[in-house]
Amino acid sequence: MFGRHHHRRFGGPCDGHHSRHPFGFHGHEHGRGHRGGGRMGRFFDHGDLRFVILKLIAEKPSHGYELIKAIESAAGGAYSPSPGVVYPTLTLLEELGYITVSEAGGGKKLHTITPEGEAFLQANAQPVKSLFERMAEAAARSAAFSPQILRARENLKTALRLKLTAGQLSADQVQQIARALDEAAGVIERV
């Protein structure tokens, strides 16, 4: 149900961890994946996504697609879970009695938290809070790598390189370029 690994009913993959926690949460922090060199490392530990999904459903009953977008938004685009991860997680949450599913028309299913799910979130408030803090940190870091900023930076570098290597610049041209760069820096500082 969760990829190629064999999963126990209330644990994670048979990887040596012996957790009885229904989400396989082990209460420790591993190295976190983030964007680097165009590749995405592991963003969540096993079971973390289940906490995130349950918390989002507690805040607002949602469809699977809405949850994917909410997670992507909370992580600032640094992570977007695939439907192949989200939908099996929703099924597990339903099997555990933490959410209910109702037909919302148009083939969509609305997921709503149960009192058992609310109690479970309360009992795990600190790990859930930590996960959302980590997503907020990732969102803050990913802004520096937004496609729009990277494109604009490269455009500026290219224009400057072409102008500087095209031939002798006049004193007036040097002043205009320096003034334009100073103005751009000032605008960025004020944003």
Classified as helix, coil or strand, 176 is helix
How many other CB atoms are there within 10 angstroms of residue 88's CB atom? Answer: 14
| pLDDT value at 30 more than 90 | no
Q: How far is CA 139 from CA 11, 36, 48, 142, in A?
A: 29, 14, 17, 5
Residue 131 — φ and ψ, nearest 5°?
-65, -45
pLDDT digits (tens, 9 = 90+) for 37-78: 333 346 788 888 999 999 999 999 999 999 999 998 888 877
Residue 82 corresponds to which tokens in the numbers above?
């695939």
Residues 6 or more apart from 43 whose CB is under 8 A from it?
Answer: 32, 33, 34, 75, 78, 79, 138
Hey, what are 42's tokens?
């592991």
pLDDT at 17: 35
97-136, pLDDT tens digit by residue? 999 999 988 888 999 999 999 999 999 999 999 999 988 8
For tokens 């990829």, the residue is 3
Does the pTM of the predicted model rise above 0.85? Answer: no
For residue 77 the two structure tokens come to 């685009």
Across the chain, mean pLDDT equals 78
How would you class 71 by CB atoms within 10 Å of its CB: exposed for 0-12, middle for 13-18, buried for 19 or more?
buried
CATH of domain 35-143: 1.10.10.10
